[in-house]
Amino acid sequence: MEKTQTNKKFIFIFATLILVGGSYGLYKYWHAQAHETTDDAQIEKNMTPIIPRVSGYVTKVYVKDNDFVKKGDTLFVIDNKDYLVKVEEAKAALSSAEESYEASKADIGTAQASISVSDANVHSATGTIETARIRLTRASNDFVRYANLYKNHSITKQQYEQAEAAKLEAQTQLNVLQDQQKASAYQKSVAAARSTVSNKQAQVALANIKRAQAQLAAATLNLNYTVVQATVDGQVSKIGIQPGQFLQPGQSLFYIINNAETWVVANFKETQLNKMVVGQKVTLKVDAFPDTEFQGTVASFSPATGARFSILPPDNATGNFVKTIQRLPVKISLDATNDKNKLSALRPGMNVDVDVHLK
């Protein structure tokens, strides 16, 4: 009797286990038809690196580890004495270039005025020379007549000499006017050459001004770069600098974690992707908050597997090939309906369990 009861209990327990196991297996089967899951997923946020643009010694650090900052807050300051000197040098160079340009413009004005005066003298001399030629022609004709009359003893020697003197005076005056015209023309050519040189000098001075302005702008920009400010709102990471430390341009110092946007990157096996599409709903559980379910949406798929983005991607053409299931990163955006306080508490790198609803 006791043995019969024991057999009945065993059969009951065994049947119960089969029923529970079968039900669970059936549930998992139907669940697998409508879901894809993975625990290879992490929280991601934008991490802005703080990188100095100029070199120098740190004079003061305004933030501490894990501080919250606003965009525009000063993070640290680099010694600016050398950069102030460069700004003053650039200002002096600009002032010198501007003075050279003004002097060149003044020379151009003087040369143009000389050209105008010489040109007026040339035109005036041209008219006067024509008058002098007429006078010389008349005096020459008079001299010829007086010479004939003198040969015939019709006039006195004094009258003959007066006619000869008048001819010589007219000839001398014409020669003087012609020399003056040549001198004015030469002065005009000299002034024109001077004007050309001054124009060239003005162009060079203008180019020097532009170069000096660019140098001043660069020096001012570098001076501004000695004050390093936050470019986004967020929380700083561990601060690895201190006053007196020498910094180099391009040196990554620490990060600002931007809490404005949070998403999840889940690495699904390539065999799980055939039914996944953008827009499908996702349920997420973060290890740090086991009692909270977050809701999300499939946002995009990586253009290549994670292995292809590694420093040394696998090369299957080397001859040692072992087929391994690859994983593809999938970006999952978190819905706005999630608890904002919980979202702000998420930290990049936290582990996440992801459940994509295929239907």
Q: Which regions of the chain does DSSP assign to beta strands (E)?
A: 35-38, 41-50, 56-61, 68-69, 74-78, 227-229, 234-236, 246-247, 254-269, 281-286, 289-301, 327-334, 352-357
Tell me what pLDDT residue 308 has.
82
- Domain match, 322 and 211 both: no
Cβ–Cβ under 8 Å, residues 139 and 162: no
- Domain match, 301 and 270 both: yes
Quickly count: other Cβ atoms within 10 Å of residue 124's Cβ. Answer: 14
Look at residue 19 and tell me if it is in a domain.
no
Q: Which residue has the higher pLDDT, 30 or 300?
A: 300
Tell me what pLDDT residue 265 has.
96
DSSP, res 311:
S
- pTM assigned to the model: 0.65
Query: How many whole angstroms separate alpha carbon 32 and alpha carbon 153?
Result: 150
Tell me what pLDDT residue 195 has.
56
CA distances for 131 relative to 77, 304, 317, angstroms: 84, 97, 103
Range with lowest mean pLDDT among 88-102, 194-208, 220-234 = 194-208
Cβ–Cβ under 8 Å, residues 233 and 258: yes
Q: Which residue has the higher pLDDT, 189 or 127?
A: 189
- Domain match, 196 and 111 both: yes
Of the residues 185, 216, 251, the one at which a domain ends: 251
**H helix or E strand, kind and range, residue 34:** helix 2-34
- Domain match, 263 and 352 both: yes
Query: How many whole angstroms separate alpha carbon 186 and alpha carbon 125?
Result: 13
- Domain match, 181 and 239 both: no
Look at residue 114 and tell me if it is in a domain.
yes
Look at residue 21 and tell me if it is in a domain.
no
- Domain match, 245 and 263 both: no
CATH at residue 316: 2.40.30.170
Of the residues 212, 235, 251, the one at which a domain ends: 251
- Domain match, 247 and 264 both: no
Mean pLDDT to the nearest integer, 187-204: 63
Q: Which regions of 218-288 does DSSP assign to beta strands (E)?
A: 227-229, 234-236, 246-247, 254-269, 281-286
**Computed over its alpha carbons, how large is the radius of gyration of the chain?**
49
Question: How many domains does the chain fold into?
Answer: 3
Mean pLDDT to the nearest integer, 219-223: 93
Look at residue 300 and tell me if it is in a domain.
yes
Look at residue 3 and tell me if it is in a domain.
no
- Long-range pairs, 67-72, Cβ under 8 A, ≥24: 67/235, 67/236, 68/234, 68/235, 68/236, 69/230, 69/233, 69/234, 69/235, 69/236, 69/256, 70/230, 70/233, 71/229, 71/230, 71/231, 71/232, 71/233, 72/229, 72/230
Range with lowest mean pLDDT among 34-43, 93-102, 284-293 = 93-102
Closest CA to 273 of 326, 335, 334, 351: 326
Q: What is the pLDDT of residues 314-334, one digit of tens each?
A: 777 666 777 888 899 999 999
Mean pLDDT to the nearest integer, 193-214: 73
Range with lowest mean pLDDT among 33-37, 160-164, 255-259, 337-341 = 160-164
Tell me what pLDDT residue 352 has.
95
Look at residue 23 and tell me if it is in a domain.
no
Residue recorded with tokens 């999840």: 264
Tell me what pLDDT residue 53 has.
93
- Domain match, 174 and 242 both: no
Look at residue 5 and tell me if it is in a domain.
no
- Domain match, 272 and 307 both: yes
Query: How many whole angstroms separate alpha carbon 244 and alpha carbon 197?
Result: 54
- Domain match, 154 and 240 both: no
Of the pLDDT bands very low, low, confident and very high (cuts 50, 70, 90), residue 198 is low
Residue recorded with tokens 């790198």: 349
pLDDT exceeds 70 at position 181: no
Look at residue 2 and tell me if it is in a domain.
no
Of the pLDDT bands very low, low, confident and very high (cuts 50, 70, 90), residue 48 is very high
Name the percent of the chain lying above pLDDT 70.
68
Query: How many whole angstroms separate alpha carbon 89 and alpha carbon 76?
Result: 26
CATH at residue 155: 1.10.287.620
| Mean pLDDT score of the chain | 80
Residue ranges making up the domain that contains 66 = 52-79+226-251
- Domain match, 105 and 120 both: yes
CATH at residue 67: 2.40.50.100
